[in-house]
Amino acid sequence: MEHPITPFELIAMVASRLELPAPPDPATRRLVRACPQAAILLPSADIHKELLTQWKNDRRGADVKFPIDQDKPDFEKLSRLLPNCWHLQFKFTLAKPVSTQDEDAFGPIDNMVRKEPATGIPCVAASSWKGALFAALQRLHPNWINNPPLRAAGYSLFGRHEAETEGQDHRRGHLIFYSTFFDRIGLYALHPLNRRTKTGGPGTPILYEVVPREANGWFSLLCCSTADSKTQRRQAGLISDAVATMLLQTGFGGKTSSGFGEAEDTIKGSLCVNGKIEPLTSLAALGRLGEQWST
């Protein structure tokens, strides 16, 4: 019986410049499928090429789906512990691909999508949601900084930087964002052309990972504040309008100027403010509800 190659043995073989058996045995294949970075360490170009091709085929497979429903926060339990909070949560489907940058710079290709380190599931970080939502809010209200009510609401929800406090205490906002995990991962290609010959040069096409169209994810947002019920309703309306604008118009992630990061109008979720639950079926309805509540 052939002895399987363990990760420690693989590193030892690479360090000693020994050749791996060709073709790669099942243990090596499983290792590279679980950790694509290991393919780059393989000394044999043929083995590297074969495993990289297999990795590309896995990324192109539309039938591969990740479980995401168990990763969303349970706001029903949180509402019992935090009665003064309101929350927004819904499941959406992508209409355009999403491009993000992974924190791990070592991989089979240069442009890797951001993933959860423990599971490898593609995700959008909570901090990215905060930046994209604040950009959508600025698009809705370009002159918000000169509007005292909007400025107070923005500082209360998103917080203030130390440079904006003018000697006052800088505090974090009342909004709590959660990372979104997607159930699919895909592979796209760019093919730059020479301006003179109109043909591709060496190194093309350029591969990069994306979260493809029709991928599903959960958007979750929680706001904990001590404001009265009327103020919370106004804040929820302001944020709901910005969320609808972000997902339908401005987008999130990278390449938003090329149309990336937009979602379909149909959603399934709820908005709970002051103990009252508003069912949500579309982003357009969420935007109209936000306009109604924020005025």
Share above pLDDT 90 across residues of the chain, in percent, rounded to a whole number:
15
What are the domain boundaries of the chain? 7-60, 73-294
**Whether residue 279 has pLDDT greater than 80:** yes
Closest to 93 (Cα-Cα) out of 226, 232, 240, 265: 265
As a whole number, mean pLDDT of residues 2-24 equals: 47
Please give the residue that has the higher pLDDT: either 180 or 7: 180
Q: How high is the pLDDT of residue 72?
A: 79
DSSP state, residue 250: I
pLDDT digits (tens, 9 = 90+) for 34-68: 555 555 555 454 555 665 666 566 655 544 577 77
Mean pLDDT, range 168-186, rounded to an integer:
83
Q: How much is the pTM?
A: 0.74
Cα–Cα distance, 263 to 285 (Å, whole number)? 14
- Alpha-carbon distance of 83 to 68, in angstroms, equals 27
- Write out the two tokens for 202: 């060496």
pLDDT of residue 106: 67
